[in-house]
Amino acid sequence: MATLFKKLTESAQKVASTAQKAVEATGAAISDVSEGLGAKVSEWNDERTQRELAKAEKKSREEEISSGLYVEDGKIIIGTLDGMCRWFEGLTGKVSGSYSEVVKAQVLILSVINSPLMVRVPVDRLMNMLNRALEASADDVQKADVKDAFASMLQNLFSFLSLKVNYLTDRKDDEAGELARQAGEDLADCIRGVAAVFATDSGTVVEVRNPLATAQAQADFLKKTLSMAKDNSDILKKTNDYKDNLQDTFNLFDIYSSVIGPSILFHGLLSKCRRVLVEIRKAELIAPIRKKYSSMATEKAIKTIGKAFMPDSIKDLTNPAGYALKTAFHAASGIGNVISEFQESRASLAEAERQLNELDCSIPEVNAVKKEIESYDKTLQEIENKYIASLRVDQDTVSKSVSELR
């Protein structure tokens, strides 16, 4: 019995030992599986995190590029109006002397260009900035650079203002799109010139791209422009604001002529503005005359139609049917005369329109308009001519150069 008990005990111990080993083996296996699963989960988490980081970085990069101000291959890329504004705002306070005023002026002008609601700029502020920039210039060369920079900026400004106002009145998408592209390229050229100065000082490479080079960019800009005028009264107000801004520009350039001095670019700017102002004044003065002749043509057309449908005599009304037949016959026989008179009226109206546009004095009222336009144009030309740059050549220098050539 003792022997049997001993054997059972030994067997139990073997079973327990085997079970223990199995448990240990199972635990080790589970541990291995758990570690492997943990490693796999960690790997999956890492991959997911990396994908999310890559996605976030891609989105951030796309937003950065869309903003129009970003770095690519070690270069600062400026590609939108917003990007131009942000870059110049970043320069504010980092430059001194005359160029600080150039930066401030460019920020102001870009804010007007980029705003769909603005068609005028405080020119007096720009003239004050120009005056301070000239006073801070170290020499005549820097003064000339400052004047050229301001003239280019103002030319860009008025190109965009003209584009906005003309698009509001004409709504010619194709023509406006091309004008927007050209205005954008001119603006980019101006920014490149300013950027080159700061890039030279800092060693930074700046690439300025046309912000309105694509059809989509042009369409977006023009769409924003339309938002500033809801009806004809808004369009009239914006047009008057634009005209007043041009007139203010001439008045201030007249006041500051002795301070600024002769400038080929400023003379060219004023010449363009003068032509626009003269055309606006001309349109204002001939508008009531055009309305008068248009009303006369309309009245004549109405009388012609009435005459065609009215018989020579309306005395006999005792026979309505006969009267109706007579009226119809009269209208039928007179339709040729109606067409002929209409054609004559159209030709007469077209000739009157030509005479108005060319200020032909065959129309009595035009003579007074022509004199007023000529007087207005002369006044503006006198201001414009103050900026003619006279080329003075020293005669001794010329003689010396001729001798050397011989």
pTM value > 0.75: no
**How confident is the model at residue 399, as a pLDDT?**
47
What is the mean predicted confidence (pLDDT) over 166-191?
A: 89
Whether the CA torsion 341, 347, 349, 355 is positive or negative: it is negative
- Looking at the chain, the whole-number percentage of residues with pLDDT higher than 70 is 63
pLDDT-derived band of residue 131, with 50, 70 and 90 as boundaries? very high
pLDDT-derived band of residue 393, with 50, 70 and 90 as boundaries? very low
pLDDT-derived band of residue 306, with 50, 70 and 90 as boundaries? low
**How confident is the model at residue 292, as a pLDDT?**
72
**How confident is the model at residue 332, as a pLDDT?**
53
Domain boundaries of the chain, sorted by first residue: 71-261, 286-387
| Cβ neighbours of 112 (radius 10 Å) | 18
Ranges 244-248, 307-311, 375-379: which has the least confidence: 307-311
What is the mean predicted confidence (pLDDT) over 33-54?
A: 68
254 near 383, Cβ under 8 Å? yes
Q: At what angle do helices 264-308 and 320-357 cross, to 10 degrees?
A: 170
pLDDT-derived band of residue 340, with 50, 70 and 90 as boundaries? low
Ranges 26-40, 273-287, 291-305, 373-387: which has the least confidence: 291-305
| Cβ neighbours of 131 (radius 10 Å) | 14
User: Residue 90 pLDDT > 50, yes or no?
Assistant: yes
387 near 331, Cβ under 8 Å? no
Type and span of the H or E element at 378: helix 364-384
Single-letter residue type at 211? P
**How confident is the model at residue 402, as a pLDDT?**
39
User: Residue 347 pLDDT > 50, yes or no?
Assistant: yes
Q: How far from 40 is each of 28, 47, 50, 54, CA to CA, in Å?
A: 18, 10, 15, 21
DSSP 262: -
Type and span of the H or E element at 71: strand 69-72
Reported as a single tens digit per residue, the pLDDT across 229-239 is 777 888 888 88
Mean pLDDT over each residue of the chain, to the nearest integer: 76
Helices (H), 309-363: 320-357
Interatomic CA distance for residues 323 and 72, integer angstroms: 88
Reported as a single tens digit per residue, the pLDDT across 321-338 is 555 555 555 555 555 555
| Cβ neighbours of 217 (radius 10 Å) | 19
